[in-house]
Every structure is written in C-alpha cells, then in structure tokens.
Amino acid sequence: MSRSLKATVLISGSGSNLKALISARESGRLNIEINHVISNVANAGGLEHAEKAGIRSTVLEHGTFGRREDFDRALALLIAAGKPDLVVLAGFMRIIGPQILEPFQGRMINLHPSLLPLYRGTDTYRRALEAGDHQHGASIHFVTEELDGGPVISQVVIPVEPGDSPDSLASRLSPMEHRLLVATVELFTTHKVECRKGSVFVDGAETAAPLKLQTNGKLSA
Ligand code: GRF
C-alpha cells in the first residue's frame, strides 16, 4: 500500500464531514492520515469527533486576534507545522486570506453547499429555493483568492422537492456531502489531482466539467 495522504481538516461546526472522513479511514476505504483538526470555534462539535478518533486538534479562535492578518498568519503556521499533503475545509466558516492560501495553493479544497458557480457565499439553500431551482447540490473546489470561486473538482446533485424549506434541503444534502467529500478525498489518494491555470487536471488530463458523484459513491465525468 502506498504512503497515506496526510490531511489537515479545518472546521467551525458540528464536523459531520470530518466524521465521514474518519469513518472512511477507519473502514479502510480512505488511505489517509488526518494529522490535525483545527477549529476557529472553541465549542465546535467536530472537536469531539477528533478526540474520539485520537486525532490532534487545536482551537484557534479568530476573535482573540486583533487583526485578520494576525489570525491568518497564525493559522498558516499551524497548518504548515504538520506538513499536510492536503488541507480540507469542511464547514470552515472563515474567508481564506492570501497568507493562508499561498503555501497551500493547489493543496487546499473546500466543500460548498451549492452547485457552483451558483450561489457563492452563505444562505445557499434559501437562495436556490427563491430562484425556483429544480436541483441543488454541493461542490468541492480548489481554494483560490476568490471566495468559492476556485476550479470545481466534483459535485453532487439532488432534486428540490415540492414544499422544501432551506432546512429540509440542507438535511437531504448533508449525507450526500459526506459521500462527495469521501469520494473526492479518495481521488486525491488514488490519482494525481492538480489545479493548473484555473482548471482541474486528473492524471494529467483536464476535466471538461466537475466530476459527478454516482450512486455507487464514485466520481465520474
Ligand atoms: C456543510 O453543509 C458544508 O457544506 C457547509 O458547512 C456544513 C458543514 O457541516 N459549508 P459539518 O460541520 O461538517 O457538519
């Protein structure tokens, strides 16, 4: 078996996506080592998942830093100390400044609850419902300086049902996000995935469109 992919996971909340990664690693599906979990929220539920799994975790509260750049510098140093192959933003609710991004360009991915390029930013479920969309979903993209604007690696699509509320849509999407994240991190463990000139390349070939999560839990074009 090849060396496991060393991943650092950044969270702000319940960490259900972190839990999905931990479970996939424990079941043997994902050849990863989660070396560090970092939360910018002291009581984030996800910290318990890290503790139970014996994963080192650190709380770095943005509110305790006077200036954004100081938080960004501290976060960049904290991530870099673990020398991760991949940095996964799994519900990390802070904008990634250039100081954090620069050392990890092409090695930092973000899970976003919309079919990008639709609905960057927050409140995506309500915005999709208000637009009358028939489909919603989640995307995983390389992080760039543009908020939720980096090249999209993968997506999962779900139908909008009659009577859906933002909450019902979010609860139906959540388990699909978990599957999307596991499949996408798996892609990094089994293939060379690169961000080049604003496009996604897998094993040297440019993907024409985001890979889609299939019912078998795998990604394909
Ligand atoms: C996910 O829905 C993700 O799309 C959004 O934040 C949520 C994180 O959930 N950005 P969790 O903390 O992994 O449970």
* Annotation: CATH topology of 1-104: Rossmann fold (3.40.50)
Quick check: is 49 catalytic?
no
* Annotation: CATH topology of 111-221: Rossmann fold (3.40.50)
* Given the residues 36, 49, 112, 141, the one annotated as active site: 112
Best probe residue, ligand 1, of 16, 57, 173 (max atoms within 8 Å of C-beta): 16
Q: DSSP label at 34?
A: E
Q: Which residues of the chain have pLDDT under 50?
A: none
pLDDT for 2 equals: 76
- Give Dmax over CA atoms of the chain in angstroms: 48
Domains 1-104 and 111-221 share a fold: yes
pLDDT for 125 equals: 98
Q: Enter the pTM of the model.
A: 0.97
| Domain range annotation of the chain | 1-104, 111-221
pLDDT for 1 equals: 58
Q: Give all strands of the β-sheet with 135-142 in edge-to-edge order.
A: 57-59, 32-39, 5-11, 86-89, 108-112, 135-142, 152-159, 211-213, 219-220
